[in-house]
Amino acid sequence: MGRILLLRWSIVALLILLPTRKMDAQVSGTIQARATVVASMTVTGSNDLDFGTVTPGVDKSVEKIAVGSAGEWTVVAGGPGAEVMLDFTLPNSLSAGASSLSIIFSSSDASYANSALASQTSPSVSMNPSLVTTANLSGTGAMTVWLGGSVSPIMSQSAGDYTGSIQLTVTLTGS
């Protein structure tokens, strides 16, 4: 017991005799963390690709610059000038019940406008709808995309209203 008491007093004496450390003044600085969240991305189909009345055995085309007939999407995808990828999902045929009608897209059947000066009849850029295209949005963070194509009815094409879905997927690249 005496040794334990002696050990305790030795530790207390040691702590008292140790030099005390001088505390320096402390200072700090603060910054803010910031982030700007852009509006949600929207892609709106605003006009169907409409071939109108088609005659069996006679191919029919709609040009991408055909106002009211060409397919049209309005894209609002974020900040001004943001880079996006445009990717079409295109059908090989249109259908009416069990009947199908061949649809073809050429390498220049799509276009877009990302400028206030561009229009459907004089778009900013022509593009291949079968390939993914990288583009920049306008200064307002928007763009318009158009699509034309051709249908090829056979001589024995069944009468009917033929339809098929065309999808435009827009992806922000972060660039």
pTM for the full model? Answer: 0.78
Contact, 11 vs 17, CB < 8 A? no
Q: What is the pLDDT of residues 142-170, one digit of tens each?
A: 899 999 999 999 999 999 999 999 999 99
Q: Which residues contact 36 (CB under 8 A, 6 or more apart)?
A: 79
In one letter, which amino acid is 13? A
Q: What is the pLDDT of residues 79-94, one digit of tens each?
A: 788 899 999 999 999 9
Neighbours of 77 (CB within 10 A): 20
Question: Does the structure show a pLDDT above 80 at 19?
Answer: no
What mean pLDDT is reported for the chain? Answer: 88
Going by pLDDT thresholds of 50, 70 and 90, the confidence category of residue 8 is low
| C-alpha R_g of the chain | 34
